[in-house]
């Protein structure tokens, strides 16, 4: 009986050591990823301002669609497509 307890204690100890090693490796990878994200965030600020004209153009198109010209064009298309079906 004491042999079984010793074997179980050794297995539990080895499992715990494996868990600790895996946790250390995971935390090292998380640290590396956090540094990369920080680098990206610091360098992205200047590059994102260059995209401002594109974002403004997309916003203008989006506002135009929601303003109604797209709805009107769709209504006209629907009117003509219904006439063609008749």
Residue 43 and residue 6 in one domain: yes
What beta strand segments (E) does the chain contain?
none
Tokens of 32: 């590396």
Residue 40 and residue 70 in one domain: no
Residue 65 and residue 37 in one domain: no
Tell me how far apart the alpha carbons of residues 10 and 17 are, in angstroms, rounded to a whole number: 10
Residue 66 and residue 78 in one domain: yes
70 Cβ partners below 8 Å, 6+ apart?
64
The whole domain housing 12 covers 1-49
The number of distinct structural domains making up the chain is 2
Residue 71 and residue 44 in one domain: no
pTM for this predicted structure: 0.48
Residue-wise pLDDT tens for the chain (86 aa)? Answer: 789 999 999 999 999 999 999 999 999 999 999 999 989 888 877 777 777 788 888 888 777 766 666 677 777 777 777 655 55
């Amino acid at each position: 009986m004491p042999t079984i307890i010793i074997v179980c204690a050794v297995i539990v100890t080895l499992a715990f050591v494996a868990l600790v090693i895996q946790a250390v490796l995971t935390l090292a990878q998380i640290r590396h990823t956090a540094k990369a994200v920080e680098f990206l965030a610091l360098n992205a600020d200047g590059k994102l301002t260059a995209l401002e004209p594109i974002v403004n153009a997309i916003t203008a198109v989006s506002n135009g669609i929601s303003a109604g010209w797209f709805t009107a064009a769709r209504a006209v298309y629907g009117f003509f497509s219904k006439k063609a079906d008749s």
